[in-house]
Structure 1
Amino acid sequence: MEQLKDAHYFHMPFQGNIYTMTELRLSNGKVPILAASLKRDIFYFEYLESSPTLEPATKEISFTYIPSGAEIISIDAFNKSSVINVAVIGITIIKNSNDSDSLETFLNIYSQLEEDEDFNIENIAQNCLTLELNFIPYHLTHTELITWDKDYNFNKKEIVFVLSGSDHQIHIYRENPMEHIYKEIDSYEFFPEFTKTPSPIVWIDILYMNNYEERITAIGCECGYLKLIKVDTKVKKTVYNFSTRFTNYIAKVNLYIENETKHLENFNKGTLKICCEKREISRPILNLVVVNSILPSVLFQCFLVMFSNLASVTIFH
């Protein structure tokens, strides 16, 4: 840890928000960063190999169809392939309409027209599909949409955009590869956990487990409402549903696996109280961090055990 130090920083002309930075994983293993300001400026940051060190490089990228006066709300990016670069970048914007009392909101999706080993961010920034929204956008992210055949065999995996909004709902945008367009689909058909919430959803985190047969979703809302759901993706049914409410604004929720596998009896003695007869249980240790805007963060430890009703879980404040 003593070796860690600040590597590089660059100046942003205007401030951003919690949604205006994202990473993009390329096929060569590099992970450049896209950082946006509210006033339309978008910067591309990467490290260039320059023996014996790495050289930081930052450049401003001009994305089309972001009109003057518009503000960037959120940005997200992903690569559809692990072998070559098929990059897709989503940007939500808000701008004043002719009516001074209303706003216009859009989701711009930028993508490569063809699969290519070379990556050119400037070319991607010129190829835009614009979708008009009827709500104010919040968190823009992405996840896999998994489909199974009638015999419950793995059929297809594709990446979709996930966008929360001021309408207290989560919207899914799926690509039609034949027409090279994205369209909103019925989220409840594929994601039964995406039900309407008491207030706008500030952050969503999604994690697949057990060879994509299980999906864990964490949802944090503006009013402090937290929802944690486990879904069986084969039958598209909610298996477990836990919710609670904090006393202040939730800024972020983050799911993470602490270890690949660990025996429950040996996990952090004093944290878990075993309330079933002793037996060998081997499960991933999955935790959830809830970041509040004012109060200290909260850690839900090993909550898969809670879902399975095998033990009680201690919540650390």
Structure 2
Amino acid sequence: MLPDIKGTCPLVEDSFSRFPSQSNIYGLCKADEQELLATPLKGKVVYKATPFLNIYCDYEPGSKFNLESIAQSCLNLALQFTLFQLYHIEYVIGALWRSSETVFLLSGNDQCIHLYKENASLHQFEEQPVERLFPELQELPSNVLWLNVLSIEQNRRLIAFGCQNGSVGLSLVNQKGPEILQNWRVKHDSPICTVLLFPSKQQHQSTDTKSSQRESFHLLVTSAIEMAVVYRDVEKYGLSRQLCLAESGQCDAVLCALVADLDFDGQHELLLGTYGQDLLCYKFHQPMGAFEDKLQLLWRRSFKSPLLSLIYLDLDGDGLRELAVLTLKGLHILQHSQRTTADLVLHILSTLVSRLPISSKDPHTHTHTRVQKSR
């Protein structure tokens, strides 16, 4: 059961890298399994009559990541619009659906989503009609500021987008057609900053009173001036079940979001990074006597500049992930406490051992568990 009072952030700062100039919400990405790419906006602003989409194609999976060598090979695609968000996805192809290729989805101020796909015969990327692979991304209500896609079972996908006029769209699609199975739309009162689809396991009570777990999918939506909300079990209920995140509207606009298991209990936490320089952490819990669970604010941590992007990954290969927080003025790396993590591992091991059948426990054998602390 979660405590009633708000606790402290369980992560401690490992390092901070100062930038020579400001960054923006697109300035942080995962370059490899253990590497980050963080970019500031340095130097003078250069005006170009035509913007470009630059695609770097020479990197081979499995090889050592080398930014300098990759930068030497660049495909420039001229754009006739101002771009907002670039999203890439592995699209499953072939009659047996056993292979995939990377396609790029680029939203712009022309109220369209543009699809860029590799032409295998020419060995280069080119724009193709978006309706061929993504028919749900036609006739958009406004400029799309953020897009998110989640592949689910039975070759289906959920795709969500948030628009400049506050519109939120959600579609369930059979990728084999592709065929739109269902569309949902809802309207917020301000521009949408983030949409993020994520799964969770829920207890399901069957007719024979047996309890089982069912995977459901939720949609986190943040906007410029409103509280962040989560639409629950969207595959079943669409956008009809809304759950607000308390106090999320008190820290200025939410610019980034992340779903991750920070306390290793198997349940997700929701992280919100705000322009008001706060990192907010929420978790689902079910109050006593309540029929549905709620989202409780667990902790909040303040920074010295607005938060722009969040990534959770294992940077040093020790088995523990670090939280990378990109702010307007630099990159923060937050890590878990080694002592707290070791205690948690011992507790989990003790719990697992206690659940073993009595016959499998040998009273004459003693198992000693040792947790070696690194760093």
Pairwise TM-score range, normalised by the shorter structure? 0.5 to 0.7
- The aligned runs of 1:208-287 (5 Å cut-off) are 208-211=151-154, 213-259=155-201, 262-265=202-205, 283-287=214-218
Shift of 1:253: 0.6
Give the match for residue 97 of structure 2.
154
Aligned equivalents of 1:281, 1:219: Cα separation in 2:
32
Aligned equivalents of 2:146, 2:37: Cα separation in 1:
19
Aligned equivalents of 1:96, 1:117: Cα separation in 2:
34
With the length of structure 2 as denominator, give the TM-score of the two structures.
Answer: 0.58
Match of 2:37 among 34, 37, 60: 34
Match of 1:290 among 217, 221, 245: 221
Shift of 1:162: 1.2
**Are 1:96 and 2:99 counterparts?**
no
Q: Residues 8 and 172 of structure 1: is their aligned pair in 2 closer, same or farther, counting only changes over 3 Å?
A: same
Aligned equivalents of 2:161, 2:87: Cα separation in 1:
13
Task: Specify the SS of the correspondent of 2:235.
Answer: helix
Shift of 1:281: 8.2
Q: Residues 115 and 215 of structure 1: is their aligned pair in 2 closer, same or farther, counting only changes over 3 Å?
A: closer
Give the match for residue 106 of structure 2.
163
Q: Residues 39 and 136 of structure 1: is their aligned pair in 2 closer, same or farther, counting only changes over 3 Å?
A: farther
Aligned equivalents of 1:114, 1:282: Cα separation in 2:
39
Q: Which amino acid aligns with 1:315?
A: L
Between Structure 1 and Structure 2, the one with more helix by share is 2
Match of 2:53 among 107, 114, 129: 107
Contact 2:231 2:243 (C-alpha < 8 Å) held by counterparts: yes
Shift of 1:238: 0.7
Across the two proteins, how many residue pairs are aligned to each other? 238
Aligned equivalents of 2:243, 2:9: Cα separation in 1:
31
Between Structure 1 and Structure 2, the one with more strand by share is 1
With the length of structure 1 as denominator, give the TM-score of the two structures.
Answer: 0.67
Give the match for residue 140 of structure 2.
197
Shift of 1:264: 3.5
Q: Return 5+ residue gaps in structure 2 as ranges.
A: 1-7, 246-375
Task: Specify the SS of the correspondent of 1:168.
Answer: coil
Aligned equivalents of 1:245, 1:38: Cα separation in 2:
33
Aligned equivalents of 2:137, 2:211: Cα separation in 1:
34
**Are 1:21 and 2:28 counterparts?**
yes
**Are 1:176 and 2:119 counterparts?**
yes
Give the match for residue 145 of structure 1.
91
Q: Return 5+ residue gaps in structure 1 as ranges.
A: 41-67, 71-94, 98-103, 267-275
Task: Specify the SS of the correspondent of 1:188.
Answer: helix
Give the match for residue 11 of structure 1.
18
Shift of 1:170: 0.8
Aligned equivalents of 2:241, 2:10: Cα separation in 1:
36
| Cα-Cα RMSD | 2.8
